[in-house]
Amino acid sequence: MRICICPGSFDPVTVGHMDIINRAAKMFDKVIVTVMRNPNKSNFAFTTEQRVEFLKRLTDSMDNIEVESYDGLLVDFARQKGAVAIVKGLRAVSDFEYEFQQALVNKKLNEEIETVFIITDSENMFLSSSVVKQVCEYGGDITSLVPEAIREDIVKGLRKEV
């Protein structure tokens, strides 16, 4: 069985995230979507439990997807799960520079794990969780940015009273 890890902070989940997850599900027998703690990000809008719950709700009908959280080295988690690959979505060259460095470190720590980059659809190139948070906090319409099934939860969690 070919297992991959699809890690991220998913704060919140966007349609871009779901596009990468759906495409990975076509390439691998099992995709473990993993909410990771990112040491470079400290003020999350949603708890780890909320982000896991959002992802579980969005992937509930997909047989080959599991959702978990992990706080540690990604390669250790991949080894524990018997994964052969880490799947990362790329939007721009700046994403590649950071993710390429991470892929090299992961390869150094675990030679058996490969990193697979999936290029985002052009319609999602601008999209990030940060963009969603900023637009939503100030009352903007996030309809096309986040999955419908969790949109109201995101709006309730982010909207500022102005």
Catalytic residue numbers read: 17, 41, 91, 129
Cα-to-chain-centroid distance, residue 122? 18
> For residues 124 and 20, what is the distance between their CA atoms, to the nearest angstrom?
11
Cα separation, 124 vs 144, in Å, equals 10
Q: Backbone dihedral region of 72: left (phi > 0), alpha (psi from -120 to 50 degrees) or beta?
A: left
